[in-house]
Amino acid sequence: MRLARDERGLIGKVLVLWLVLLALVVIAAIDGASILMSRVRTADLARDAAATGAETYARTGERAEARAAALAVVEAGDEDALLEDFEVTRRGEVTVVVTDETGTLLVGRFGVLDELTRSRATATSGD
């Protein structure tokens, strides 16, 4: 009987530990999915902005109008995304760089992992 008294509460402690570990795994999975979806969304946004910029440049021949069109696509697609760079080559190809921050539950709270929450995509479109 004495042995049973010494193990009192052990099952509860193990159960709490497993629940905490399960919660951390679920949060990590949610953050991982958020980061992955943000990177895909940023790449799609960069591709669309480059295509729109190239079409506008081919139609008007004006770099400023092409940049404005690409910027409008980025702003319409995600209000937090930034058109970081915009280039038009001599051949009329448009290259854009789009960046975005990913909202996460846990990953963004650690400075070491902060780089994981930044999505950056480069796309080129044109002739």
Rounded Cα–Cα distance for residues 60 and 64 (Å): 10
The pTM for the full model equals 0.80
Rounded Cα–Cα distance for residues 25 and 23 (Å): 5
For residue 57, what are the contacts with CB-CB under 8 A and spacing of at least 6?
63, 65, 66, 88, 92, 94, 126
Q: Which of 122, 85, 78 is nearest to 102 (CA)?
A: 78
The predicted-structure confidence for 78-105, as pLDDT tens digits, reads as follows 888 999 999 999 888 999 999 999 888 8
